[in-house]
Structure 1
Amino acid sequence: MALIAPSFDDYATKYETIRLERDEAGVLEVTLHSDGKSLVWTPQVHDELAYCFTDISCDAENRAVVLTGVGDAFCSEIDFTKFSLGTAKDWSQIIFEGQRLLRNLMDIEVPVIAAINGPATVHPEIPVLSDVTIAATTTVFADSPHFANGIVPGDGAHVCWMHVLGPQRGRYFLLTEQTLDAQQALEFGVVNEVLPPEQVLPRAREIAARIAAKPPLGARYSRVVLTREIKRLIHEQQALGLTHEALAALSL
C-alpha cells in the first residue's frame, strides 16, 4: 500500500500552541500562541513545533508559509519551571527534539515569510531563519535563555546568529547578551523590512500571495536551493552545540 501524505484536515487542529489557517491560494498561516496570547516557551511548544513542521513539509498543497505570533511579542518569555534539565536522560530528549525542530523547519520546501509582531528574545532563530523577515518597529532580538544563565547557546542559536550576523557580530551578540532593536536588525541584515506593527502581517501575506501564485515547483525548489547552506550548517553543528549545552547545564 502506498504511503499517504497528511492533508491539511489531518493536522489543522492538532496542536494547542499553533493555530493553522490556509487560504484558497495555498498560503498557510502559522500563528504561535499560548492560550491565545503571546507565546511563552515551554516543553510543549518545543515538541509541538518539531512535529508541526513535519506535517507542513509533507503537505504538497502548501504553497507558501507565513509564520507569526499573537499580541505584542513574538516570544519573549520562557517558563523554566516546566523544563527538566537535571539529568542526562532529560537532556537526551531535549537534544532529540531540538535537532528535529530546526531540521524539520528547514525541510519545509516552500518559502517561509516571518511576520515578527514584537520582541523575539526566546528562540529568535526560528523566525530569523525564514526566507523573508518582516519585523514590527517594536521588535527586539536577543538570545535571553542561554549565556545569560550560564548555558551554551547551542541548540541552533550558535548556527543561526553566526550565519546571519557573521562571525564577529555573531559572537559578540551571543557572548555579550546583546539586544538588537528593529532598526539595528535591519542594518545588520537580520530582517528585510521594518514596519509599524499593524502593517507587518498584511505585508507578509502580500509577499506570500505573490509567491503562491508562482509555478509550484519553481517556488518550492527555490526554497530548496536557497536554504542548502544553512541546512548544511545545522546538520554539521547542531548536535555538537546541543551536547555542549547539556554538559554546561548539568554542571550548574
Structure 2
Amino acid sequence: MYCAPAAGGRLSICPWNLTTSRRWTVATLDQYANKYQSVRMERTDGILQITLHTNGGSLQWGSIPHEELPQAFHDIGSDPENRVVIMTGAGEAFTGPPGTRESRPRRSPSQWDKTYWEGKHLLMNLLDIEVPMISAINGPALRHSELPLLCDIVLASEEATFQDSGHFINGLIPGDGMHVIYPMLLGLNRGRYFLLTGQTIDAQKALDWGLVSEVLPRDELLPRAWALAEQLAQQSPLVLRYSRVLLTQYVKRVMHDLLGYGLALEGLGSADTLEQQSSTGS
C-alpha cells in the first residue's frame, strides 16, 4: 500500500492495521477451527487453546496428525487475532501410542519425500507462530514430545513423562527434531543417552533437568496455563510477537541447519533396517 507523505515533508503513518498489514495472507478462526480431525480449537479474548486428540481421546500419532499439524500451525500463525496459544492434549496422555518395531514406517523414496516435507514444516511452522506459546502437558508424551518443548512456557502434570519411543530403540534414527531439542535442553550427553536408550523421564526429573518450568496436579494444569496466558496477553501486539520471534531465533537457526539433514538420514536408516529385516526374516 502506498502512503503519501504528510504536508510539509513530514513522515506519515499509514492508516492500516499493524496486526494484519505485514502478512501476505490472513487466516481467521472460523476458516480453520473445525478444519482438522486431530486438533480442537477454542479462543477467548485472543487466547487460543489447541487440544490434540484422536476421536476425543488422547492423540494417537500417525499419518493424520503428521499431515494435519503442519497446516494447522500455519493457519494459527497466520491469524493476527491470536495473542497467546496454549497447547494441550486430550485424555490422560499427551501423545501416544508407544512406538514398536511393527509400527516402523515402510515407505518408498517418494513416500519418504512426503514425510520429509511434513516433518520439516511440522516444527518450522510451529516455531513460525509469532505469539507466545504455553504447553500444558497433561500426561505421558511418548511420540513427538519435542512439540510441547518448543513452546515458550512448558507446564506438566504430575503424571507427565517423556520418552522417544518411536525411534532408535525400535530401529529408526531420531532425526525428526528430537535430535535437536533434547541435546539442546538436557545437554549433549544426557540428550544422547535419552535418545539412544529409550529412557523415560518423569515429571519431577523433567523439572529438575529444565525440560519443564512447573509441575502441577492435572486438574490445576489448564487453569494455570490460562492464568499465565492472560498475564502475557496484557502486553501490546508487537511486544508479544517480537518477544516470541526473538526468543525462538536461536532454536529456529539450529533447527533450520539440522532438521532436514536428520530427516534424510532417518529415511536412509529406515530402508537399511527394513533390508536387514528382510534378509534375516525377522
Structure 1 length as normaliser, TM-score?
A: 0.96
Equivalent position SS for 1:20: strand
The partner residue of 2:247 within 222, 226, 246 is: 226
Q: After superposition, what is the alpha-carbon deviation per residue over 1:34-56, rounded to whole angstroms, capped at 9, x for unaligned?
A: 00000000111011100000000
What secondary structure does 1:114 align onto? strand
> Is the contact made by 1:27 and 1:63 (CA closer than 8 Å) also made in structure 2?
yes
Alignment check: 8 A CA contact 2:76 2:82 kept: yes
Task: Please name the residue that 1:50 is paired with.
Answer: 70
**3-state DSSP of counterpart to 1:93:** helix
**Greater RCO (Cα-Cα under 8 Å, separation 6 or more):** 1
- Work out the percentage of aligned pairs sharing the same amino acid: 47
Equivalent residue for 1:60?
80
1:108 maps to which residue? 129
Deviation at 1:85, TM superposition (A): 2.7
Look up the equivalent residue of 1:154 and give its one-letter code.
G
Farther off after superposition, 1-10 or 55-64: 1-10
Identify unmatched segments of 5+ residues in structure 1. none
Asked if the contact 2:98/2:165 (under 8 Å) is kept, the reply is no
RMSD (Å), alpha carbons? 1.7
Aligned: 1:17 with 2:38: yes
Instruction: Tell whether 2:115 aligns with 1:94.
Output: yes
**Higher gyration radius (CA):** 2
- The 5 Å alignment of 1:83-232 reads 85-232=106-253
Q: Is the 8 A contact 1:67 1:115 kept in 2?
A: yes
In the superposition, the TM-score normalised over structure 2's length comes to 0.86
SS in 1 for 2:55: coil
CA contact (8 A) 1:42 1:83 kept: no
Q: 8 Å contact 1:27–1:66 — kept in the other structure?
A: yes
The answer as to whether partners of 1:43 and 1:82 remain within 8 angstroms in 2 is no
Tell me, in whole angstroms, the C-alpha distance in 2 between the residues paired with 1:129 and 1:180: 17
Work out the number of aligned pairs and report it.
Answer: 251
Residues in 2 aligned to 1:155 and 1:36: alpha-carbon distance in whole angstroms: 26
Runs of at least 4 residues off by over 3 Å: 1-4, 78-84
Q: Are residues 1:34 and 2:54 paired? A: yes
Where in structure 2 are there 5+ consecutive unaligned residues?
A: 2-20, 274-282
Residue identity in the other structure for 1:16: Q
Secondary structure in 1 aligned to 2:229? helix
CA offset at residue 219 of structure 1? 1.1
- Take 1:120 and 1:165, find their aligned partners in 2: how far apart are those partners? 16
